[in-house]
Chain A
């Protein structure tokens, strides 16, 4: 049985890391465990769980800032923000179910450590765009802080951004300070149909290139629409493009009209409108990847330039995936019902030219994630740099070794 440490204070956390460093004992660093299945499996001697380092220690709504211990459940944070009509603008996704566990489990530390953003990524940025400061224990066994609590800060390197998306491989975050924003008072979705995939994807880009401040843009192939619990979507019987606008009621109505004028009519697409509640439900389904088969053995997440979306899907077509396009086409979800030996790398990852995007194997059996790198492999010079950065933070390799890549 592996040891499980659950520190309750920064002091205890530091003790665990120092012990691991002294013993060169690899630790699996876990917030509340909702995303353990994401990335390469970690072979660790002990688990370090942050669930008992929990609690919101500062929230100043007029200053748009909050600070919380890393293990604080996201739902607790979202509930407190909702009381003041605020939110995390990057719309954190919940991969709990997709990764075979429950929903609503994740911690704020995990949200930032994995830098996962939902549909509003295209307008509001990712988790990394909202992190302001961190306190953490590095693989040197030292507690450090970086960043601050103010919105604008260039004092020293932006280490909070480096830690966002580092999957606990550089330092264990103990406390995070982040930006929060007012939540919109109204929202609606325009559902467009009557065109093929190319036409619908073009409509997304046209909408994003307008001044309508679209906050989310997705294309749902027919199979995806059938999985929705929103009647207007489920009953569509054909592929849909979905455009979300958020703001005050006046502004939402005005912008929906504008989208009809600049996007729907010129393309000859039919349109219906979804109200606030249905909008909320639909985009939660998209955010949490519920419109492709949640039980499919393999799930790929491909980021690319929006104009490459159709090509990404076409290359994967021989694998017969269920597909969902988010981020105006810049995010392509591919769920595979069977398991090719290379997990589909040949069609999905190999087709992406260097710099053209990343393909992440989000869901796959553990044995396969040891053979096929779940994270998009880096070119050799960049990998060298990555290794030196890791070395600088965690020279003994005790923090989540192997999670990002075998050599990291």
Chain B
């Protein structure tokens, strides 16, 4: 993975830049010591590391603005960072830039139960939002498996999802307002507690922009009342194909489950070894289907799902009879990543999305690739929305294995695009999938995305080297290629 060539002039000015930063933030908000900077050298994609010039931890929007304005004026790159759980290298530092961490922006600012909103600083964890409102029966719906650690700011940047997003939406569908600091230090506020604003949906593009457009300093999210009941159904099938067609049939029947997850045999066994959730080890695929709502409705839906499952050849079927049991059913799935981590020295988590009808085909091709690369793979799958997480198992201590795992992963993602899907469903492009972007987008598509970047960050100081395989200068992107008199009057049907 090539990162942009570090700017020697900036590296040479490290101590001067640190001194200028020291004037803007309290001394405990500036990390310069090398050993302490090391803590920030990578995110959840640990294969890539880089030591930043300095780490700054502002505790107010004004400090964020001052730091950004300075960096923008001096050409110092800035990598925003929440909890560093990104799996795509989104928070990977650059050696000629600073890391701007949101660790001290960690306060919940307002809980408004009457309007069903919570306003928080970006460093508040996803789970802390639910914790702050659950006394009144409310929760924040998007629930990434990393929710204990990951921040709401990181969730905005990655447009994170969770097992409940089929029914309740991704981050982008649950955000009402944002405060954003632009690289030049300008502070803009978008949305609020109201729904629907005139003007461009900038909140919509900032969500999922991977820290490339600005630093989010405040977030207002929608909270929901917990469903009255929730029950999970565990369903085992002899094959992945049967599991896949059962998912299609559930949805074709008009049911949108609260959660609909699938695992293949290697993942089932890894999870079972780790948490003992009661999964059927011999099954070729396992579905976890959660139905939520009023008790009367849930009981009815459980019946319907069970009968669809039987029609599709289910060989194992168990309905949760208590809240404890429901949580146990989920525990295996929610711990699938660490479970695979226990049976393999290293694993590489992929994140493509495919049209669901392509599932059997994709898994079959993946098995062939697995043989070709000599690396095992376990699959967990947000089955309802087609988001696939193949976990490629490898050993980084064996020469060449990491490279093989990466090549295998890239081939899977290309396959996802080939069948009508996309490179990433929720983990982001980051550095990891950056060079695969041309598989999905033309030069013109990518140029237009970068023009959007230029509207926010003309000097391109924010998170460089991420998302886009080639950086173009904004002036170059802005140039028009069509000139007066070049195009004849269109010869088209008209009135």
Contacts and interface: CB of A to CB of B under 8 A. Distances in A.
Interface stretch (A231-239, A275-283, A333-341, A389-397): A389-397
14 contacts: A16-B490, A24-B484, A140-B481, A141-B481, A148-B422, A205-B114, A205-B115, A211-B226, A251-B294, A330-B195, A376-B199, A381-B188, A384-B186, A385-B202
A125 B171 CA distance: 12
Contacts of B117: 305
Interface stretch (A68-76, A114-122, A313-321): A114-122
Interface in A319-366: 327, 330-331, 354-358, 360
Interface string B174-194: 000100001000111111111
A358 B199 CA distance: 10
Contact of A250 (B195, B300, B456): B300
B310 to A, nearest CB: 19
Given A128-B201, A305-B192, A389 B455 contact: yes
Interface in B408-465: 420-429, 433, 437, 440-442, 444-449, 451-456
Interface string A238-281: 00000000011011001100100000000000000000000000
Given A62-B248, A62-B356, A357-B192, A210 B467 contact: no
Interface string B134-177: 00011000000000000000000011010001100110110001
B482 interface: yes
Contact of B449 (A149, A157, A248, A384): A157
Closest 5 CB pairs of A and B: A161-B204, A182-B254, A251-B297, A392-B451, A151-B385
A122 B200 contact: no
Interface stretch (A6-14, A96-104, A192-200, A221-229): A6-14
A370 to B, nearest CB: 17
Interface string A369-398: 000000110110110111011011101100
A7 B494 CA distance: 8
A23 B485 CA distance: 7
A399 to B, nearest CB: 13
Given A121-B195, A247-B297, A385 B201 contact: no
A162 B195 contact: no
A381 B189 CA distance: 9
Interface in A276-330: 303-307, 327, 330
Contacts of B425: 150, 152-154
B428 A154 contact: yes
B398 interface: no
Contacts of A392: 448, 451-452, 454-455, 477-478
Given A154-B158, A306-B115, A382 B494 contact: no
A159 interface: yes
Given A22-B482, A126-B195, A148-B421, A159 B449 contact: yes
A62 B357 contact: yes
A356 B200 contact: no
A40 B137 CA distance: 44
A146 B208 CA distance: 13
A133 to B, nearest CB: 9
Nearest to B253: A182
Contacts of B199: 165, 375-376, 378, 382, 386, 404
A18 B488 CA distance: 9
Contact of B201 (A115, A146, A358): A115
A155 B228 CA distance: 35
Given A7-B492, A150-B355, A182-B251, 11 more contacts: A19-B487, A22-B487, A60-B357, A63-B355, A149-B355, A152-B161, A154-B427, A156-B449, A355-B177, A382-B188, A388-B454
A108 interface: no
Contacts of B426: 152, 154
B23 interface: no
Given A122-B195, A125-B173, A146-B449, A162 B200 contact: yes
A307 B115 CA distance: 7
A59 interface: no
Contacts of A155: 422-424, 429, 433, 437, 440
Given A15-B490, A22-B486, A209-B225, A357 B194 contact: yes
Contacts of B423: 155
Given A146-B449, A389-B200, A254 B356 contact: no
A158 interface: yes
B294 A152 contact: no
Nearest to A210: B225
Interface residues on A, range: 35 or more
Contacts of A21: 480, 482, 487
B198 interface: yes
Given A152-B165, A248-B300, A382-B199, A159 B452 contact: yes
A376 to B, nearest CB: 4
B198 A404 contact: yes
B387 interface: yes
Contacts of A255: 294
Contacts of B193: 304-305, 356
B258 to A, nearest CB: 12
A400 B112 CA distance: 39
B6 interface: no
B226 to A, nearest CB: 6
A174 interface: no
Contact of B487 (A18, A161, A212): A18
A138 interface: yes
Given A3-B494, A144-B448, A255-B294, A395 B480 contact: yes
B456 A209 contact: no
A126 to B, nearest CB: 6
Nearest to B249: A62
Contacts of A159: 205, 448-449, 452
A391 B426 CA distance: 30
Nearest to B225: A211
B455 A385 contact: yes
B213 to A, nearest CB: 8
Given A6-B495, A62-B251, A152 B256 contact: no
A254 B294 contact: yes
A154 B200 contact: no
A355 B189 contact: yes
A389 B199 CA distance: 11
A183 B253 CA distance: 11
Contact of B495 (A4, A138, A142, A381): A4
A159 to B, nearest CB: 7
B201 A304 contact: no
Contacts of B252: 61-62
Interface in A146-204: 146, 148-159, 161-162, 164-166, 170, 181-183, 185
Given A5-B490, A154-B427, A305 B353 contact: no
Given A144-B448, A185-B254, A354 B189 contact: yes
B207 interface: yes
A327 B297 CA distance: 25
Most buried by B among A141, A145, A148: A148
B483 interface: yes
A164 B296 contact: no
A170 B448 CA distance: 11
A66 to B, nearest CB: 13
Contacts of A382: 188-190, 199, 202
B456 A385 contact: yes
B116 interface: yes
B413 to A, nearest CB: 10
A313 B295 CA distance: 39
Contact of B113 (A62, A122, A181, A209): A209
Contacts of A162: 200-202, 204-205, 452
B382 interface: yes
